[in-house]
Structure 1
Amino acid sequence: MPHLILIADIGGTSSRLALVGTDGVPTDIRIHRNDDFAGFEALIEADIAARPAGTRPAIGGAVLAVAGPVDGDAVKLTNRDWAFSKRAMRRHFGWQKLEAVNDFEALAYGVPALTADDLVPVGAGRAVPKGPMLICGPGTGFGVAGLLTIGRRFHPITGEGGRMRLGAVNSEEARLLAHLVRELGTPVVEHALSGSGLARIHYIFSGEKLSPEAVIAAATRREADALETCRIFLRLFGRITGDLALTINARGGVFLAGGVSAALAPFFAGSEFREMFEDHPPHQPRLAAMPIHIITHATPGLFGCGQIGARLAAGLKPGLHLV
């Protein structure tokens, strides 16, 4: 039986797991809600147990993309109280190889594999071949990555951009920041630009407590307060994305990721997102030339995990995996 690699894109709210071989193509994709599990090991155990009999002996390694830093042996999610040791995880499952990467690093690896059907453009612009690409967006938190082309290979760069300090440029944003300071202390980007941030903005400006999904559903019904919330959110999202695009000179394109970006896709065209993205004098022409796309594919991070997993699968030694 050929060796397989378990690949997992583990976010703060949900996780996507699949199997991959040397071709790098994810198969048998399964999506789980993290609230149903006590931690990483329980999630993976349940996922493997639900797969066809005989799958576990064929799995020789794993690629785990997690929403948090992956330096060193200890790995912890930024927005959920889950953690694991790479060495202990590998021993527990008997894997030959284990690769842990930041979830937006995996997403960056997956961007070149996306097609026009997986993307929704926001305004105009033309990518510069081999120019730096920016991948960012709100979900449980706010993720950021870059993708550089060096020679014939892609090289991702990652960090914790969601923890950048958040500032204000008008009275509306100043009001938002004042509330964030009282509620959370020093404001950071993901306090506002995340699923919980969308709900927080709605409460601050309307007084109504709704879930992020309920806010977007209300906006879809053209309810005024929800539309106003989305306007504020997308205006701020555009400004922060412009900041990041200037930071890495994203002439290769900007890709908006995360479940919130995809859910808000119908509202971008009528918003101030693109205007605020470009409103960074004196660099408006540079930003206006950058194409922006919303990623609407359901599991883009698994594309990138698949590329890493294919390399692991090719290097596995037959007969050494443990059951």
Structure 2
Amino acid sequence: MAHLILIADIGGTSSRLALVGVDGVPTDIQIHRNDSFKGFEAMIEADLATRDPAVVAAIGGAVLAVAGPADAEFVKLTNRDWSFSKRAIRRYFGWQKFAAVNDFEALAHGVTALGTGDLIPVGEGLSEPRGPVLICGPGTGFGVAGLIQSGRLPAVITGEGGRSRLGATDAEEARLLAHMVGELGPVVVEHALSGSGLARIHRISTGEAISPEAVITAAGRGDDGALATCNLFLRIFGRIAGDLALTFNARGGVFLAGGVSAGLAPFFAASPFREAFEEHPPHEARLAGMAVNIITHPTPGLIGCGQLGARMARSLKPGLHLV
């Protein structure tokens, strides 16, 4: 059997694992709740135990996309107490090759492979071929990456944009920020733009402490308080996305990722998102010309991991495994 690569998109809440070969197409996708496991090794072992032993024996490497910085030897999730050493995990599983990347770096590698059925446009705008691309969005935290398409292979820029300080632009945002400072101290973007941030905004605005999923469900029923929460969230999201689009000069398009973006997809069109995105004087026209799309593909991180895994699969030496 040809060498296979195990690929994984590991978030703060759940993990998606699959297999990929030289074609880069993820197969046999499995989804796991992270609360069921003590750490990376336990979760991966449980996943492999569900697969055909002959298939597991053919796995020669792995690409893990993690919700946190991945550019050092020691990798730790930002919003969960999980960590690993790259050398140690590679030897633990006997893989010939191993790579860890930030989860938004994986998303960036995959966005150009998404089709129109995987995206919902937000407003007008066109993507400039091979122009810089921005990927950002809220999930358990708030992720940011940029894709530079010049050259033979695309280059991805990642960072911890979700930890940038959050400001306010009007009285409503100032009141919200004041409450958050009182509760949290210095406030960063993902304190507002994340799943927990959506619930936090709703609690501060209405006094009702419910889950982010419940906020979205209530908004879908037409609840005024929940709709107001979603609109405030999307206004802040639009402003931050506009800030980042200017920073990256995202003429190649802006892709909104993360489970919260997908969950709020029905509300974007009637929300202040696009207005806040463009309202960056004197650059309104530049931002108005940028295409913005919500990613609705169920496992977009695996698409990017698949692209990286295909390159790794082509480089494996037949029959070699670590012991």
| Deviation readout 1:233-270 (Å, 9 max, x if unpaired) | 00000000000000011011000000000010000000
Q: Look up the match of 2:60.
A: 60
Which residue does 1:246 correspond to in 2? 246
How far off its partner does 1:182 sit?
1.4
- Taking the aligned partners of 2:189 and 2:257, their CA distance within structure 1 comes to 15
Provide the residue aligned with 2:270 in structure 1: 270
SS in 1 for 2:154: strand
CA distance in 2, matches of 1:72, 1:302: 22
SS in 2 for 1:150: coil
For 2:57 and 2:135, how far apart are their aligned partners in 1? Answer: 36
Superposed displacement of residue 81, structure 1: 0.6
RMSD over equivalenced CA pairs, Å: 0.9
Q: Which amino acid aligns with 1:289?
A: G
1:319 alignment counterpart: 319
For 1:233, the equivalent position in structure 2 comes to: 233
> CA separation in 2, counterparts of 1:4 and 1:148?
28
Spell out, residue by residue over 1:207-256, the C-alpha distance to the aligned partner (whole angstroms, 9 max, x if none): 00100101101111111111010010000000000000000110110000
Match of 2:174 in 1: 174
Question: 1:57–1:321: 8 Å Cα contact kept in structure 2?
Answer: no
Pairwise CA distance, 1:199: 0.3
Deviation at 1:55, TM superposition (A): 2.4
Shift of 1:322: 4.5
Distance in 2 between the 1:61 and 1:175 partners? 50
Distance 1:304 1:38 in 2: 26
- The SS at the match of 1:54 is helix
**Count of aligned residue pairs for this structure pair:** 323
Gaps of 5+ in 2: none
1:27 Cα deviation from its structure 2 partner: 0.3
| Counterpart residue identity of residue 3, structure 2 | H
Q: Distance in 2 between matches of 1:82 and 1:182?
A: 29
Deviations 1:98-154 (A, max 9, x none): 000000000000000000000000000011111101000000000000001112421
> 2:105·2:157 contact (CA, 8 Å) conserved in 1?
yes
Q: Would you say 1:73 and 2:78 are equivalent positions?
A: no
How far apart, CA to CA, are the structure 2 residues paired with 1:313 and 1:254? 30
CA deviations 1:35-94 (Å, max 9, x no partner) are 111110011000000112322211111000001001221000001110000011011000
Distance 1:164 1:22 in 2: 38
CA distance in 1, matches of 2:133, 2:187: 27
Q: Secondary structure at the match of 1:68?
A: coil
So what's the TM-score if we normalise by structure 1?
Answer: 0.99
Number of the residue aligned with 1:279: 279
Is residue 91–residue 322 contact of structure 2 (8 Å, CA) maintained in 1? no
For the 8 Å contact 1:48–1:55, the answer to whether it is kept is: no
Which residue of the partner structure matches residue 37 of structure 1?
37
Secondary structure at the counterpart of residue 63 of structure 1: strand
Q: What does residue 116 of structure 1 align with?
A: 116
Q: Name the SS for the 1:75 alignment partner.
A: strand
Output the amino acid matched with 1:220.
G
CA distance in 1, matches of 2:153, 2:287: 25
Structure 1 counterpart of 2:213: 213
SS in 1 for 2:18: strand
**Does the Cα contact within 8 Å between 2:127 and 2:251 map onto a contact in 1?**
yes
* Structure 1 gaps, min length 5: none
Q: Which amino acid aligns with 2:315?
A: G
Q: Distance in 2 between matches of 1:152 and 1:314?
A: 17
1:81-96 → structure 2 map (5 Å cutoff): 81-96=81-96
Partner Cα separation in structure 1 for residue 3 and residue 152 of structure 2: 28
Counterpart secondary structure, 2:17? strand
Q: Secondary structure at the match of 1:51?
A: coil
Distance 1:127 1:55 in 2: 40
Match of 1:49 in 2: 49
Q: Which amino acid aligns with 2:295?
A: I
Counterpart of 1:38 in 2: which secondary structure? coil
What's the counterpart of residue 291 of structure 1? 291
Q: Distance in 2 between matches of 1:122 and 1:10?
A: 27
Letter aligned with residue 10 of structure 1 = I
How far residue 185 of structure 1 moved from its aligned partner, in angstroms, is: 1.1
Q: Which residue of 1 aligns with 2:201?
A: 201
Which amino acid counterpart does residue 82 of structure 1 have in structure 2? W
Letter in 2 for 1:240: I
**Aligned-partner Cα distance in 1 for 2:60–2:191:** 39
For residues 262 and 132 of structure 2, the distance between their equivalents in structure 1, rounded to whole angstroms, comes to: 22
CA contact (8 A) 2:18 2:28 kept: yes
> Percent identity among equivalent residues?
74
**Aligned amino acid, residue 249 of structure 1:** N
Q: Is the 8 A contact 1:5 1:309 kept in 2?
A: yes
Matched residue, 1:164: 164
Deviation at 1:11, TM superposition (A): 0.5
> Which whole-Å CA distance do the structure 2 matches of 1:138 and 1:105 have between them?
15
User: Is the partner of 1:9 in helix, strand or coil?
Assistant: strand
